[in-house]
Every structure is written in structure tokens, then in C-alpha cells.
């Protein structure tokens, strides 16, 4: 009887652990080159929605841009930092607390790479990760737009 309870508990905790690890996206692509153009980073369109690019108001040495698609259906943010250590520190200090406020979320460092996922109070889906000295954040108004963004952005895939 004790063995059955142990196996049941082990199975339950395994399911909780797997469910809590967040989505499993491949994000280990080469980052954008230092001289890359915005058009090389952001997709020109997602579905039929053209991108509206804007520069983020960040203090140097941070440099960031946002690509908004449709009526805020999809938003992709990119932030470039001087090196991976500063990107990791910024992600942990400035990005993670936003995910921690979400009703469903995961954040952590997996194989030396920071990533976070979540669903906010308006059911908007979010995913963020560090790629060398870059931080990328994708958010979308629903799962279909989120999937479209993942398929269109060349620094992530399912």
C-alpha cells in the first residue's frame, strides 16, 4: 500500500513539474549580427498584419525596439545589451518580476539561458528569453496570434 501511495505521489509531482516548466520552444539560434537592420530582426508582416516599428525609451547601453502587428494583436520586443552577463542580469531584474505578477507563469534559467512564459490577467500570452546579449519578448492577444508570431519570428520555433 505504501508503495502505491509513493508511486501515485511521484506521478503527481512529475506531472506538476512537467506542466510547470513552461512551453518548450527552441531559442538557441544565432543572435542578430551587431550591424543587423531592424528589417532583418522583425518580420515585415505576421499573417496579413504589417509591422509598426518603434524605438523603446531605454537608457544606454540598452537599445530596444518594438514591433506591433495589427491592433496590438502581436507585439515583439527586442533589447540589445553589451554582453550576455548584462542581458541575464537585466532579464532577472527587470523582466522576471513582470512574469511573476501573471496568473500563470514560469521563469528560470535552463541550460544557462533565461526564459519566461506566462498568461496575464487579460489572457494575453507571453514568452521571453535571453539569446546571448539580446532579450526577446513576444506577446499576443490569443493562442492563434501567439502561434503565428512564433512561426514568423526567426529566433524561436516550436
User: Is pLDDT of 10 > 70?
Assistant: no
Q: Dihedral, CA atoms, 29, 25, 58, 95, nearest 10 degrees? A: -140
What sign for the dihedral angle of Cα 37, 81, 77, 52? negative
Containing H/E element for 110?
A: strand 104-110
Q: How do residues 116-140 score in pLDDT, each as one tens digit?
A: 999 999 999 999 999 999 999 999 9
User: How many beta carbons lie within 10 A of that of residue 115, not counting itself?
Assistant: 26
Q: Which residue, chain included where needed, has cell 496579413? A: 48
Q: How do residues 26-49 score in pLDDT, each as one tens digit?
A: 999 999 988 888 998 999 999 999
pLDDT for position 47: 95
> Which region among 19-23, 95-99, 140-144 has the lowest average model confidence (pLDDT)?
19-23
Dihedral pair phi/psi, residue 76, rounded to 5°:
-120, 130
Q: How do residues 102-115 score in pLDDT, each as one tens digit?
A: 989 999 988 889 99
Flag whether the pTM goes above 0.95: no
Residue-range domains of the chain with CATH: 26-152 (3.40.1000.20)
Q: Is 3 exposed, middle or buried (0-12, 13-18, 19+ CB in 10 A)?
A: exposed
Assigned C-alpha cell, 18: 512537467
127 touches 116 (CB < 8 A)? yes
For 72-109, b/e burial (b = at least 16 CB within 10 A) is ebbbbbbbbbeebeebbebbeeebbebbeebeebbbee
Q: How do residues 69-94 score in pLDDT, each as one tens digit?
A: 999 999 999 999 999 999 999 999 99
pLDDT for position 2: 54
pLDDT (mean) for 136-154: 97
Beta bridge partners of 66: 54, 77
pLDDT (mean) for 143-147: 97
pLDDT for position 23: 59
Whole-angstrom distance between the N-terminal and C-terminal Cα of the chain?
Answer: 41
Assigned C-alpha cell, 104: 500563470
Amino acid at each position: 500500500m505504501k508503495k502505491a501511495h509513493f508511486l501515485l505521489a511521484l506521478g503527481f509531482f512529475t506531472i506538476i513539474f512537467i506542466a510547470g516548466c513552461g512551453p518548450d520552444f527552441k531559442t538557441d539560434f544565432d543572435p542578430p549580427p551587431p550591424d543587423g537592420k531592424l528589417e532583418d530582426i522583425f518580420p515585415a508582416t505576421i499573417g496579413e498584419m504589417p509591422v509598426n516599428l518603434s524605438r523603446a525609451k531605454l537608457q544606454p547601453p540598452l537599445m530596444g525596439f518594438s514591433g506591433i502587428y495589427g491592433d496590438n494583436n502581436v507585439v515583439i520586443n527586442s533589447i540589445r545589451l553589451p554582453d550576455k552577463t548584462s542581458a541575464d542580469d537585466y532579464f532577472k531584474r527587470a523582466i522576471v518580476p513582470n512574469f511573476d505578477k501573471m496568473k500563470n507563469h514560469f521563469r528560470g534559467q535552463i541550460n544557462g539561458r533565461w526564459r519566461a512564459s506566462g498568461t496575464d490577467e487579460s489572457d494575453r500570452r507571453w514568452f521571453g528569453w535571453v539569446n546571448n546579449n539580446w532579450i526577446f519578448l513576444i506577446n499576443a492577444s490569443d493562442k492563434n496570434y501567439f502561434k503565428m508570431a512564433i512561426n514568423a519570428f526567426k529566433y524561436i520555433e516550436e
